[in-house]
C-alpha cells in the first residue's frame, strides 16, 4: 500500500471517507461498496493491513467498541482529514488537467 506524500490507494481513500464517522471493519466494507455503487469491494485482508498502517501513521484512531456486536470501531483523525483534503485537491488537479487537454485536442 502506498501511504506517503503521494497518491493514496483507492482502498485508503475510501477507508478515510468511511471513517468521517465511526465505523467497524465490516461497516467500512459496506460503506465503501455502497458509496462507489458496488465498484469498490474491499477485501478483508487488504482492509486489515490498511487499517493497521493508518493507525500507525495516526490517520485514524480506535474510538471504542460497538455496543451490540463488540466490534472495534475507528474514526478519522485531524491528520487523516488533512491527508484526505490533500488527496481531493490532487484528484481535482488530475481531473481538471485531463479535461482541459482533452478538450483542446478534441476541439482542435
Partner 1 sequence: MKQKFHKFFWAWEYEKEIQWINDMAAKGFGLCHVGLCTYWFEDCEPGEYIYGLELAEHSPSSLAGREYLDFLSECGTEYVSSWLRWIYLRRKTADGPFNLHNDLDSRLSHLKRVFLLLLPVILINALVAVYNITLGLCMHLPNNIVISSLNVIIAVQGTAALIRLARMIYGLKKERQLHE
Q: Which residues 50-69 are close enough to bind partner 1 by CB under 8 A? A: 69
Burial of 36 (0-12, 13-18, 19+ CB in 10 A): middle
Q: Bridge partners of 107?
A: none
- Binders of partner 1: how many residues, by CB under 8 A? 20
* Residues ≥6 apart with Cβ < 8 Å to 2: 8, 9
Q: In angstroms, rounded to a whole number, what is the distance separating the alpha carbons of residues 101 and 103?
A: 5
Q: Which is nearer to partner 1, 5 or 78 (CB)?
A: 5
Binding mask 7-46 for partner 1 (x = CB under 8 A): --xxx------------xxx--x-----------xxxxxx
Q: In angstroms, rounded to a whole number, what is the distance separating the alpha carbons of residues 44 and 85?
A: 26
6 scored as a contact of partner 1 (CB under 8 A): no
Smallest distance, Å, CB 108 to partner 1? Answer: 30
Smallest distance, Å, CB 51 to partner 1? Answer: 8
Q: Provide the binding-site residues for partner 1, judged by CB under 8 A.
A: 1-2, 9-11, 24-26, 29, 41-49, 69, 71
Amino acid at each position: 500500500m502506498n501511504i506517503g506524500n503521494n497518491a493514496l490507494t483507492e482502498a485508503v481513500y475510501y477507508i478515510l471517507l468511511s471513517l468521517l464517522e465511526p465505523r467497524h471493519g465490516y461497516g467500512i466494507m459496506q460503506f465503501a461498496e455502497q458509496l462507489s455503487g458496488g465498484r469498490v469491494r474491499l477485501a478483508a485482508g487488504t482492509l486489515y493491513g490498511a487499517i493497521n498502517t493508518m493507525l500507525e501513521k495516526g490517520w485514524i484512531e480506535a474510538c471504542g467498541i460497538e455496543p451490540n456486536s463488540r466490534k472495534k470501531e475507528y474514526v478519522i483523525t485531524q491528520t487523516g482529514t488533512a491527508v484526505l483534503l490533500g488527496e481531493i485537491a490532487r484528484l481535482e488537479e488530475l481531473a481538471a488537467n485531463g479535461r482541459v487537454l482533452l478538450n483542446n485536442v478534441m476541439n482542435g
